[in-house]
Amino acid sequence: MHTEKIIEENKQGQTLVAEKVTGNDKKLFIESYGCQMNMSDSEIVASILVKEGFNTTQKLEEADLVLVNTCSIRDNAEQTIRKRLQYYNSVKRKKNPSMKVGVLGCMAERLKSKFLEEEKIVDLVVGPDAYRDLPNLVEEVEAGRDAINVILSKEETYGDVSPVRLQSNGVSAFVSITRGCDNMCTFCVVPFTRGRERSRDPKSIIEEIRDLKQKNFKEVTLLGQNVDSYLWYGGGLKKDFVKASEIAQSTAVDFAQLLDLCAEEFPKIRLRFSTSNPQDMHLDVLHVMAKHNNICKYIHLPVQSGSTRILERMNRQHTREEYMELVDNVRRILPDCSISQDMITGFCGETEEDHQDTLSLLEYVKYDFGFMFAYSERPGTLAAKKFEDDIPLVVKKRRLAEVIALQLKHSHYWTKKHVGKVEEVLIEGTSKKNENEWKGRNTQNTIVVFPKEHYKMGDFVNVKIDSCTSATLIGTAVGYSENN
């Protein structure tokens, strides 16, 4: 078995570099559900298994090992995966009897060995901190035994694992900087499935970005459940920081410093980050964003509710007014910055008045985008233990529809404001609707489509915005941007 560097050109004329292990033809089919962190984790998993002689495949029927990286955030996310497992089962019966199936990620962590009992198709269950154990676990499975590892770690960040970029457009990539979450929002299952918060060594983050740059990537999104809480002082849990040595404390790197470091080191790379929890976002991050042109002016700032009473029940550590003040600061320090939200309707005990508070907060902030959900009780969470899930589904859904309708109006308000301007767009792929058009995003993360002409994937292009829908800007290229 040996590693071979493959260099090829894709249809857009862009050079792609990949490492492939030859001499073994075990095939791995891996798919991810849920958040961007899962997409990024699947790339770590692929890297670990490629070293074991697996080649990735896009064809389920020919896979020796099928891995599904799962999401537990809402009940319907779990139902989607259960259905997918049934589909694997039918493929196994009809076309590929020797196929083995593994479940990774949050559902693996939440359900543990119950998975092996409940879903006969599943041979392997691996939690988010146990991916290094995959080679041993896969060996067990190949020997005909079920295998499971769902141990959560206080240290694991996979900092030294160089991810295999899966289904990448070769232009934008995710780089994870923290794992886990310590915030314990009462509705949220993540602290239970992904464990305690840990930060990754800044050196390994910089190295990963350097590697991406060499491979011609143009945009990096720094990922974490709560990136603003990033803190490196030599490793371990954030909560142990107070106990760390004085030397460790004096050389600690926080999120604003990390962002500054990355922006300084890679002036030609576009940087994004996600997600910002309002309680952990400080003004120094906004100042670093203002200082660097290559940091995109976009903040995903989930709020969940506009009512201080509900925020308290959710254990969000800020009031409505404190959140508004943070938004005011964003507008003051970064006048062109876009802001998006996550919102939950029908949380336990939410009254009509609380709901009106949510609508009025939406009016106040006028978010550019939003991700909105009806509350879904998750077993084991603090809310499931402490509060009754007492809002009828029809009410949750009616409130959700009202929130979505208002958000749509605000999205359109913002897209209209872009019309007539010339904006820098990074070309990320072909438009879904028209193969003669490129699609990319401006700094505010709004999708822009425009005729391809002579431009290529990965080019930074100035685009004149001619018209818009509520979610998309439509324009014409006027030339390369100076970043190109």
Shortest Cβ 385–ligand F3S spacing (Å): 15
376's contact among ligand SAH, ligand F3S, none, with CB below 5 to 8 A by partner kind, is ligand SAH
Closer of 184 and 247 to ligand F3S (Cβ):
184
Token digits for 50?
A: 């490629």
Question: Which residues would be at the binding site for ligand SAH (CB under 6 A)?
Answer: 35, 73-74, 187-188, 190, 225-226, 275, 277, 302, 304, 342, 344, 373, 375-376, 378
| 348 marked as binding residue | no
The entry of ligand SAH, ligand F3S, none near residue 375 (CB within 5 to 8 angstroms by kind) is: ligand SAH
Contact 183, 160 (CB under 8 A): no
Q: Answer with the entry of ligand SAH, ligand F3S, none that 378 interacts with (C-beta below 5 to 8 A by kind).
A: ligand SAH
- How far does Cα 220 stand from its chain's mean position? 12
Question: Which segments within 54-127 are labelled E, that is strand?
Answer: 54-56, 65-70, 100-105, 124-126
Whichever of 312 and 342 has its CB closer to ligand SAH, that residue is 342
> Quick one: what does residue 217 bind among ligand SAH, ligand F3S, none, with the CB cut-off 5 to 8 Å set by partner type?
none
The strand pair at 270-274 and 231-232 is best described as unpaired
- Closest distance of CB 338 from ligand SAH, Å: 16
Binder among 170, 191, 278, 440 for ligand F3S (CB under 6 A): 191
For tokens 């550019």, name the residue.
368
Terminal CA-CA length for the chain: 40
Q: How does DSSP classify residue 454?
A: T
Q: Which tokens belong to 6?
A: 């493959």
CB 445 within 8 A of CB 369: yes
191 binds, among ligand F3S, ligand SAH, none (CB under 5 to 8 A by kind): ligand F3S
Kindly tell me which of 217 and 373 has the beta carbon lying closer to ligand SAH: 373
Nearer to ligand F3S, 381 or 407 (CB): 381
User: Phi-psi category of 381—alpha, beta or left, where left has phi over 0 and alpha has psi -120 to 50?
Assistant: beta
Q: 71: annotated binding-site residue? A: yes
SS3 at position 170? coil
Which of 30, 39, 188, 344 binds ligand F3S (CB under 6 A)? It is 188
Rule CB under 6 A: say whether 181 interacts with ligand F3S.
yes
**How far apart (Å, rounded) are the C-alpha atoms in residues 277 and 230?**
11
**Residue span 210-229 as binding mask against ligand F3S, x where in contact by CB under 6 A, dash where not:** ---------------xx---
Question: Which of the listed partners (ligand SAH, ligand F3S, none) does 481 bind, with a CB threshold of 5 to 8 Å by partner kind?
Answer: none
For the chain, what's the residue count? 484
Calpha distance 54→200 (Å, rounded):
27
Q: Which stretch binds ligand F3S (CB under 6 A): 63-71, 180-188, 202-210, 425-433?
A: 180-188
The Cα–Cα gap between 400 and 355 comes to 10
Question: According to the annotation, is 296 in a ligand binding site?
Answer: no
Of 35 and 253, nearer to ligand SAH (C-beta) is 35
Residue 275 vs 443, nearer CB to ligand F3S: 275
Determine the interface stretch with ligand F3S among 8-16, 40-48, 176-184, 363-371 (rule: CB under 6 A).
176-184
Partner in contact with 307, chosen from ligand SAH, ligand F3S, none, beta carbon below 5 to 8 Å by kind: none
190 belongs to the binding site for ligand F3S (CB under 6 A): yes
| Closer by beta carbon to ligand SAH, 241 or else 387 | 387
Query: To which H or E segment does residue 274 belong?
Result: strand 270-274
Applying CB under 6 A, does 42 fall inside the site for ligand F3S? no
106: annotated binding-site residue? yes
Helix (H, G, I), strand (E, B) or coil at 34: coil
Residue with Cβ nearer ligand F3S (30 or 382): 382
* Residues 272 to 291 in contact with ligand F3S, rule: CB under 6 A: 277
Helices in 217-351 by DSSP H: which ranges? Answer: 246-250, 255-265, 283-291, 308-313, 320-333
Q: Is the dihedral of CA 415, 420, 424, 430 positive or negative?
A: positive
Is 35 annotated to bind a ligand? Reply is yes
From CA 48, how far away is CA 216, in angstroms rounded? 23
- Tokens describing residue 369: 């985008």
C-beta closer to ligand SAH: residue 37 or 125: 37
CA–CA dist 37, 119 (Å, integer): 25
Q: Is 188 annotated for ligand binding? A: yes
d(CA 291, CA 98): 56
Residue 268 has which token pair?
């030609």
From the CB of 231, what's the least distance to ligand SAH, in Å?
A: 16
CA distance 334 to 291: 10
39 vs 50, which CB is nearer to ligand F3S? 39
Ranges of beta strands (E only) in 360-471 are 369-374, 422-430, 437-441, 447-451, 460-468
Binding-site entries for [4Fe-4S] cluster: 35, 71, 106, 181, 185, 188
Q: Which residues bind ligand F3S (CB under 6 A)?
A: 181, 183-185, 188, 190-191, 225-226, 277
